[in-house]
């Protein structure tokens, strides 16, 4: 059977999505294995999972930044994506700043998206065009799914009144809240790392074809 170039590209994309699925599966299993070691400290403030979340966001930000340096035509979008990752990584350090700094909070991380927006604003039409091209790529939908995991799923399932309504025991809510919320956030952050790799693949292919 002879496949067209478009069909081959679609098949490769499907294979990558399967690989991402398996990697996410093993990532979740790894969290389980970590929990066997750290027990009730697994999801504690500044604990192993919170540090892992920071590392995942930092890795994604670095990938986008390196990509911005390598591919000038995608620089605006790459910097914007990197800035969002760096802002989120600072947000994960909120307790660190709260305990170790009286003058600097995690909100200093907003300097990244502000700088990225100012950079994109220098060539507004090109930036909008890049963003619209990005929206049509598989990596965009992966990032959308990650954001769904991090915000509505993690925040609502770990919402205190929801937990109380279902379990009916106030004594369980802090630990159960951490369990649901941090697990979902970790999965979302891991998918962002995968999405950043997919983004590099998508844009590299477009650059070669242009």
Strands (E), the chain: none
User: What does residue 93 show for φ and ψ, rounded to 5 degrees?
Assistant: -95, 15
The tokens for 43 are 């999801």
Predicted pLDDT at 46: 80
Please tell me the pTM assigned to this model.
0.93
Q: Total structural domains in the chain?
A: 1
Angle at 123 between CA 121 and CA 124, to 5 degrees: 60
Task: Please give the residue range of the domain that contains residue 45.
Answer: 5-209
pLDDT (tens place) for every residue of the chain, 210 residues total = 788 988 999 999 999 999 999 999 999 999 999 999 998 889 887 889 999 999 999 999 999 999 999 999 999 999 999 999 999 999 999 888 888 877 889 999 999 999 999 999 999 999 999 999 999 999 999 999 999 999 999 988 888 888 888 877 766 667 788 888 999 999 999 999 999 999 999 999 776 665
């Amino acid at each position: 059977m002879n496949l067209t170039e478009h069909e081959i590209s679609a098949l490769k994309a499907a294979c990558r999505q399967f690989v991402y699925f398996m990697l996410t599966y093993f990532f979740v299993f790894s969290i389980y294995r970590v929990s066997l070691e750290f027990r009730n400290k697994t999801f504690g403030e500044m604990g192993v999972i919170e540090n892992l979340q920071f590392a995942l966001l930092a890795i994604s930000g670095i990938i986008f930044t390196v990509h911005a340096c390598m591919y000038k035509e995608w620089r605006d979008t790459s910097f914007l994506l990197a800035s969002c990752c760096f802002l989120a990584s600072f947000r994960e350090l909120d307790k660190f700043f709260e305990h170790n700094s009286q003058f600097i909070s995690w909100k200093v991380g907003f300097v990244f998206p502000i700088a990225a927006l100012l950079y994109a604003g220098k060539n507004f039409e090109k930036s909008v065009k890049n963003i619209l091209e990005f929206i049509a790529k598989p990596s965009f939908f992966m990032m959308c799914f990650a954001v769904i995991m991090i915000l509505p799923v993690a925040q609502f399932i770990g919402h205190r009144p929801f937990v109380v309504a279902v379990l009916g025991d106030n004594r369980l809510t802090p630990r159960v809240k951490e369990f649901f919320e941090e697990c979902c956030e970790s999965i979302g952050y891991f998918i962002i790392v995968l999405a950043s790799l997919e983004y590099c693949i998508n844009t590299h292919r477009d650059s070669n074809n242009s």
